[in-house]
Amino acid sequence: MTTTFSIVTISFNQAEFIERTILSVLQQAEAGIEYIIVDPGSTDGSRDIIERYRGRVSKIIYDEDAGPADGLNRGFSCASGEWYGYINSDDFYLPGGIASAAIAARRYGQAGAIVGNGYLVDSNDNVLKKSVSTRFSLFEALHGACFSLQQSTFYRADAFWRAGGFNIQNNTCWDGEILFELARAGYPIERFYADVGAFRIHSQSITGSGRLNQQYLRDVGAIFERTAGRRRTDFDRFMTGPCVRAWARLKDPRRNLDLALDRWRRAGVAPA
């Protein structure tokens, strides 16, 4: 049985990288995906690059939006796939990544989201390190003990909308917030072991530049307050959080081994 995927790319002034992104999606031919690109107003030539691929893309949306989360919601509102994924215009999928996700989607058909692994890369596609997602627990996520690689995360379409879609007021971690909302709605978040996507770190990215760090802390605080029903305290930050994170690492030996092997390989200690 075929599992259908709709992939959205949100694009804004990333002409240096967007062609790499587009090709990484189009090369997932075996997965039979629907591909939607949203660009609310690039002025750096990104739209010229997008237009080169119009005949191979399912839909292109050039409407203005209220931010990345709003743009993604608009893209997904046009989608017909059973599962949704999105890849930013400076990131990319690995060969066969979505096919691996399709296997996981069939295995975890009742999940609200499935989360795989991948890599962190630099502006030249050089691998910086492996990125391994954790198992998801609402309590552990509340205390910063869960990590889900967005470039390897996919949402079941009906669950995504029942959970409210992405919060358009959240400008830094809407991808993390939707996992909280899915879990609160009773949907499992399942991890699968396959390398799916690459997250690019560069000077202009949100992570690389650090320009939204304070906003991120406010967004995380709002998620905590809504989920826990109270404000985050210093005890949460400096006592409960570190203890929960240590316990989460301790009970995930496979992830620990994968990360250790990656460090050894990059150090030249273990074979590639």
Return d(Cα 137, Cα 183) in angstroms, integer: 8
> What's the pLDDT score for residue 270?
66
pLDDT band of 209, cuts 50, 70, 90: low
Checking if the pLDDT of 125 tops 90, the result is yes
> What's the pLDDT score for residue 144?
96
Domain positions in the chain: 5-266
Q: Does domain 5-266 have CATH number 3.20.20.80?
A: no
Return d(Cα 198, Cα 225) in angstroms, integer: 31
Q: What is the DSSP string of 125-167?
A: S-EEEEE-PPPP-HHHHHTT-----GGGEEEEHHHHHHTTS--
Q: Are 140 and 127 spatial neighbours (Cβ–Cβ below 8 Å)?
A: no
Query: How much is the pTM?
Result: 0.95
> What's the pLDDT score for residue 29?
75
Mean of pLDDT over the chain = 94
Q: Which helix (H) or strand (E) holds 36?
A: strand 34-38
pLDDT in tens, 10-50: 999 999 999 999 999 999 977 779 999 999 999 999 999 99
pLDDT above 70 covers what percent of the chain?
A: 96
Checking if the pLDDT of 155 tops 70, the result is yes
Output DSSP code: residue 19.
H
Strand, helix or coil for residue 114: strand
Place of tokens 């910086």: 128
Place of tokens 């990288």: 17
Instruction: Give alpha helix (H) positions in 152-232.
Output: 157-162, 174-184, 206-209, 213-228
pLDDT above 90 covers what percent of the chain?
A: 90
Q: Are 113 and 187 spatial neighbours (Cβ–Cβ below 8 Å)?
A: yes
pLDDT in tens, 54-103: 999 999 999 999 999 999 999 999 999 999 999 999 999 999 999 999 99
**What tokens appear for 122 in the block?**
């630099």
Checking if the pLDDT of 191 tops 80, the result is yes
Q: Are 93 and 118 spatial neighbours (Cβ–Cβ below 8 Å)?
A: no
